[in-house]
Amino acid sequence: MRTKSTRALPIDIEKQSERPGLTAVGKKLTHVDSAGRPRMVDITGKADTARVAVAKGLVRMQPATFKLIQAGGISKGDVLTVAQLAGIMGAKRTPDLIPLCHPILIDGVTIDFKPDEKQNTVEITATVECTGKTGVEMEALTAVSVAALTIYDMCKAVDRGMKIENIRLVKKSGGKSGTIELE
């Protein structure tokens, strides 16, 4: 079934963000045509440049769950090693999950974890690198998301109240917009 839509999207793109580095480029959404329909951005004329994106997120859990992860006591296996592999795989599969994402030849993906015993959290940082015509922000965000979901999946038998929080882009570099640091 094909859906035909001629409605404009309910997004006010005239408003500029108050956060540094975030502005409406050309005051229009790039993945929407003039009729409000989705479209894949044409990157044919763009130059290849070195690109890096860093994203972060947090998984909050009960103290007992945190201790089980640290002690290797989760029955499904080494939680952070499996989550690290899942995050890498997630970055590689981003265009299969996000409909208008370009397939990108990724040069490298790093997934790092920062456990915090006082807060009972695991902070996830994903860094994705490539040389190409478009950025790797979505790959970094997907990597963090998939790593966090894997931690949840592996630990849900002992803690269904875990929270995945604050997934965000913290830095990107390369391309026409250069380097943008959000934290």
Active site residues: 153
Output phi, psi for 28, to 5 deg: -145, 155
d(CA 165, CA 118): 17
Element (DSSP H or E) covering residue 138: helix 137-155
d(CA 138, CA 147): 14
Output phi, psi for 105, to 5 deg: -80, 105
Q: Which of the 8 DSSP states describes residue 170?
A: E
Output phi, psi for 3, to 5 deg: -100, 130
